[in-house]
Amino acid sequence: MSGLRLTRNIIGGAALTLVLSACATVPASGPVGVLALGNNASGERCTALPNWTDPAHPGFIKNPDIYSVNCTGAVTDALARVRVFPSVAARTAASGDLQCGASSDVALAGFDRASARRCFDPALGFATIVVDADKGASAVQISAASNAVGAGYQAALLLTGQQGDGDVTSARTPVDLASLAALPTDLAVGPQSDGPRETADTLLARATELNFRGLSADASRFLRNELNRLPAGTPPRVRAQLLLEAGLADSNIRFFRSADSNLAEAESVIRGLGGADQRVLRPKLDTYRGLHALNQRDFAAARRTLAPLANRASTRVQGLNDPATLVQLNAVGNDTGDIRSAIAVPNLELARETVIGVQGNWALSVAELSSGNRGAALRAIDLAQNELERLSRSLEGQRINQDGLFWLNARLVRQRGRIQAESGDYAGAVASFDKAISTLTATGRGGTFAPDDPVVAELRLERASMVDRAGRPAGEVEAAYGEALDAMLFAREASGGFSTALLHPYLDRLAVRIASGDKAAAKRYFDALQVAGESSAARQLSQLQEVVGEDPAIAVKQRERLDLRRQLSEIAANIVDARNLGQPVDKLEADRARTQAAFSEIEAELAANSRLAQVSDRPADLAAVQAKLKPGEGYVRLTVMNDRVFGILVDRDDAYPIRPSLSSGDIIGLANAVRRSSEVGDDRVLPDFSVGASTALYKALFAGVDGNLRARTELVFDGGAVLAGLPAGLLVTDRPAPASKGKARHDYSGVAFLAKQVPNSVAMSPRSFIASREFAPSRATQGLIGFAAPEGIGQQPIGTGGKFRIGPCLIDSTAVTAYSNRFSPIAADEIFIAAEALGLNGQPTLVSGASFSDTEMVRRGAAANGFADYKVLHFATHGLTEGQFDCKGAPAALLTSFGGSDASDLLLSYDEIASLKLDANLVVLSACDTASRTGEGTQIRAGEAQPGSTLDGLVRAFFAAGSRSVMATYWEAANNDATTLLMAEFYAAGRDKTISESLSVAQNTLIDIPETSHPFFWASFFVVGDTDNTILGGAKMTVAAR
């Protein structure tokens, strides 16, 4: 089987838009195009792209060099603009639109003179730090968000020829922001500049630059923001191209629904274009649809879509050989020291058409090889290579950035290597991959690919597999895999998803070495299980550890930073919704400007604080996990890697690899069968629990570590996609004897559930597990607050014009009221039982009835201390999974009472929960499906564009709000005495046991009672986060004597 068939995400992006659309002025020393600015203080990579027709300053197209600066992970588009003018007078003339406060002279290393001030920059759309600096005859202006001044300064150094690659970093603090005068309130928000913030070519260039480096998540986020702010007068041709790029970026990160939408909208726009534009963009649409099909592994559809494009190859490049088609954009500067120089590029339409053809033939070759058609795959790649070589010859001697060419050529060479491997020529395949890597990383040619770019990491992994298949010496194979793994781990959070199938042989080798006691092999094996990154909820828990672990002043700013980042994503999504509905967005744009300025200011403050350690994107070290485990405790991690499952059992001293023989599809199939037999369906009939499937699943996963697993005193399960929505405690370790005559049908009290043998909890990633064991105690002074019994809406008219807006969905209010009235409210008795069992003196604080509304919760949560006085928050209400009301974008939420105004929608949703202020040890969600996964809509609104990441239902929202642990449910909890008993036992045990031990006591109580022994009654409850803590840990609480 070829490596290609195992590749999950094989598309990099729109190849050569950067070369053809970002043709900016460049230093005389060689092509720049993209400036690599190093990493900022948060570890995010920053770059600058030319924006030579800056729409904010149309009168200065000819003279200044204008670069837009951004960093990976940024929620906004450009974080800074750096302009180089031929004189101070030109700079002054170009600064008329800035709204500024008082200016101060500053010392700026590398420049003769400099001053700084706070301004509102309409070109960027938010408040910035503006630095005017002089170097010889050059007059520089940096206008940057507070957290991007270092990146802007680095760009200015490079543009004035002051620094070599070895000193490049955006992590500097060149200006003391605290010393600058505040910007007057009336100047802090101003009119937005007309038209797009950057030219269409610059937008396309930035998105492409992210895509071909494998940073499709950032490209998706960037284009989503830009598309929502394009003015109505944007040329349809421009809009179509941006939609195509957005569709491909979304496809690369497996947001297939969003990709379908963008591509369909692009097709609609293209349909209305003139003949010349259609001639170029219709094939581009077909090519991108073929790439989208490849990402979905629909090779037949890809071949049908792409094959017709191959026939046009011979006519595409004829015009490129004619010198008359070259267009001179700028005159050569007379001053030999001037950083501006001539730009000559081929006719753009001919070149773009050629690039589309190259991409189409490359994608067709991929599809053919995946279908076993090696000859057809070779013919397609030969056609693509011939076209690219003719295009390259037409660009020889031209002073433009050619990263796109290098990237595309590397793709073709890589595909040729795959074809060689399929033919048995492994030596030739290795040589091809060496050439592809060298093409991207070779120095001395002006390229900016880093050895740890995701696209390079993918190449290194596939090369390692070729070295292995070629039968090279063991040391060489080990070194190749090790180098690839290091690159993948470094780039894991930024990638668009790696092919993990190619790691299988390496993991199998490491497992053999682990069995012989090789500690180094165990470390590398554990590292490899983390190449896919971690979920959003896991990252949130790691960030929360910083917030509660720092001194109060820093903790407040860290919390504000997280809240502001979330608000920026929410505002951006709201702007998209408003534009789609034809509603005004002026207020939303102003809100975004204020929020962006506040976020940048706080991030700059935190970055300048040497005591604040940033959350690392590096994976957790095996030794660090072991150090956090208690004696006798075990940590289990399971990971799906294409068609196999790999895992590991870790204790304080040793590690044991897990390598099931069943395929990942078969294992997940068993897990789904167990899940179906555990919950009550729409027919409200209790099913027979599948003891056989549960036993088979346990044996498939843990047969090789069974003795060690059951010898643990406690287990932490990080089950990933293998156990998604399925609690490990209901796995059956031994098939029971035949049921005795007369035993009740649903009596499972004698079944060997894992939960009866070992207490267990859930972790979302190794790094978040470490963070959870480092939390500072809660400073809350009150015990428990409960939320229960929301009022049904009855027939009261609600909404505006009979409609409700829930997230991005406009819902008929009758559907919402029907849902509200469908459920009988969970009685407040559950809260009183919990407080009594926990031994709290007096009555618990209770919010119920009309007071338990979404608007009241938001109002109280926004107060100075929010709900931070309580160690425990208990929600006894029903939950909604994402996609209710026949709208896929409807967010997960908790059902509340109606707040009595148009601001109320009866739902406490993700963003509202995240805004609550907590300092809790535990949030209990005694509700339905409170841990169900969320989809693209909520991920986008929460600022997520990470491939494969999930928001774990409402769990992450409560981590964002400030809870150290959460009890949630995988499926609908029984609204009867069984849940009441479980809660009573849980809280009673919680007086002196840990949270995970308390849940174990409660679950075993129900298992031992035949009538409640079915997993439906007890297995859906799980705890995640800092479960080694006690419920009332931290400040001392007064409890009744036991």
Give the model confidence (pLDDT) of 374-391 as tens digits.
999 999 999 999 988 888
Confidence class of residue 1024 from pLDDT cuts 50, 70 and 90? Answer: very high
CA nearest neighbour of 941 among 79, 266, 296, 258: 258
Query: Quick count: other Cβ atoms within 10 Å of Cβ 331?
Result: 10
Using an 8 Å Cβ cutoff, are 147 and 154 in contact? no
Mean pLDDT taken over the chain: 78
Residue 536 reports pLDDT greater than 90: no
pLDDT in tens, 408-431: 888 899 999 999 999 999 999 999
At residue 518, φ and ψ (nearest 5 deg) are -80, 105
In the chain, DSSP finds a helix count (H) and a strand count (E) of 35, 27
Q: Is the dihedral of CA 1003, 1007, 1011, 1016 positive or negative?
A: positive
CA nearest neighbour of 1033 among 918, 839, 871, 875: 871
b/e burial code for range 854-877 (CB count within 10 A of at least 16 → b): bbbbbeebeeeebbbbbbbbbbbb
SS3 at position 1009: coil
Select, from the ranges 21-25, 468-472, 598-602, 630-634, the one with the highest average predicted confidence (pLDDT): 630-634
pLDDT in tens, 228-247: 777 667 788 888 988 998 99
Residue 60 reports pLDDT greater than 80: no
Confidence class of residue 956 from pLDDT cuts 50, 70 and 90? Answer: confident
Distance CA 386, CA 94 (A): 46
Q: Which of 176-190, 257-271, 421-435, 893-907 has the lowest mean pLDDT?
A: 893-907
Q: Which of 182-186, 304-308, 669-673 has the lowest mean pLDDT?
A: 182-186
Select, from the ranges 20-24, 251-255, 401-405, 645-649, the one with the highest average predicted confidence (pLDDT): 645-649
pLDDT value, residue 46: 85
Q: How far, rounded to the nearest angstrom, does the alpha carbon of residue 915 sit from its chain's CA centroid?
A: 20
Select, from the ranges 352-361, 592-601, 865-874, the one with the highest average predicted confidence (pLDDT): 865-874
Q: Is the dihedral of CA 561, 566, 571, 572 positive or negative?
A: positive
Residue 507 reports pLDDT greater than 60: yes
Distances, alpha carbon 455 to alpha carbons 87, 491, 494, in Å = 41, 9, 10
pLDDT value, residue 872: 96
- Do the two domains 4-38+199-499 and 777-976 of this chain adopt the same fold? no
pLDDT value, residue 820: 65
Amino acid identity, position 17: T
pLDDT value, residue 954: 75
When computed from its CA atoms, the radius of gyration of the chain, rounded to whole angstroms, is: 30
Distance CA 437, CA 949 (A): 29
H helical segments located in 581-660? 586-607, 622-628
pLDDT value, residue 202: 66
| Average pLDDT rounded to a whole number, residues 899-912 | 75
Amino acid identity, position 573: A
Distance CA 429, CA 438 (A): 14
| Average pLDDT rounded to a whole number, residues 610-616 | 40
Using an 8 Å Cβ cutoff, are 503 and 525 in contact? no
pLDDT top residue among 236 and 566: 236
Residue 467 reports pLDDT greater than 90: yes
H helical segments located in 854-954? 854-861, 910-914, 936-941
CA nearest neighbour of 493 among 457, 518, 451, 445: 457
CATH classification for the domain delimited by 777-976, as one of 3.30.70, 3.90.1750, 3.40.50, 3.40.30: 3.40.50
Confidence class of residue 904 from pLDDT cuts 50, 70 and 90? Answer: confident
At residue 133, φ and ψ (nearest 5 deg) are -135, 145
Confidence class of residue 510 from pLDDT cuts 50, 70 and 90? Answer: very high
pLDDT in tens, 100-132: 999 999 999 999 999 999 999 888 888 899 999
Confidence class of residue 577 from pLDDT cuts 50, 70 and 90? Answer: low
Domain borders along the chain are 4-38+199-499, 536-607, 624-764, 777-976
Distance CA 702, CA 760 (A): 15
Residue 1039 DSSP symbol:
B
Using an 8 Å Cβ cutoff, are 361 and 381 in contact? yes
pLDDT value, residue 173: 86
Using an 8 Å Cβ cutoff, are 418 and 369 in contact? yes
Residue 539 reports pLDDT greater than 80: no
| Average pLDDT rounded to a whole number, residues 582-606 | 75
CA nearest neighbour of 32 among 245, 338, 341: 341
Tokens of 858: 């938001």
Residue 732 reports pLDDT greater than 50: yes
Residue 791 reports pLDDT greater than 50: yes
pLDDT top residue among 704 and 55: 704
The angle, 0 to 180 degrees and rounded to 10, between the axes of the packed helices 299-310 and 348-370 is 140
| Average pLDDT rounded to a whole number, residues 293-321 | 71
Can you tell me which residue has the tokens 């590690």?
655
Distance CA 875, CA 814 (A): 25
pLDDT value, residue 123: 81
pLDDT value, residue 960: 75
Using an 8 Å Cβ cutoff, are 857 and 828 in contact? no
Distance CA 1018, CA 760 (A): 13
| Average pLDDT rounded to a whole number, residues 273-290 | 87
pLDDT value, residue 318: 42
Q: How far, rounded to the nearest angstrom, does the alpha carbon of residue 760 sit from its chain's CA centroid?
A: 28
pLDDT value, residue 713: 96
Q: Is the dihedral of CA 487, 519, 1028, 547 positive or negative?
A: negative
pLDDT value, residue 192: 54
pLDDT value, residue 58: 44
pLDDT value, residue 415: 94
pLDDT value, residue 52: 46
Residue 805 reports pLDDT greater than 50: yes
Distance CA 50, CA 32 (A): 9
Residue 393 reports pLDDT greater than 70: yes
Q: Which of 308-312, 899-903, 932-936, 957-961 has the lowest mean pLDDT?
A: 932-936
Percent of the chain beyond pLDDT 70?
70
Residue 139 reports pLDDT greater than 90: yes
Dihedral angle over CA of 165, 171, 173, 177, nearest 10: 140
pLDDT value, residue 19: 38
Tell me which CATH homologous superfamily contains domain 4-38+199-499: Tetratricopeptide repeat domain (1.25.40.10)
Can you tell me which residue has the tokens 């191209």?
241
Q: 715 has which bridge partners?
A: 634, 760
pLDDT top residue among 776 and 469: 469
Q: Is 383 left (phi over 0), alpha (psi -120 to 50) or beta?
A: alpha
Distances, alpha carbon 213 to alpha carbons 160, 255, 288, 392, 712, in Å = 26, 18, 18, 20, 44
pLDDT value, residue 796: 58
Residue 473 reports pLDDT greater than 90: yes
pLDDT value, residue 420: 96
pLDDT top residue among 190 and 195: 190
SS3 at position 844: coil
Percent of the chain beyond pLDDT 90?
36
pLDDT value, residue 351: 61
pLDDT top residue among 637 and 67: 637
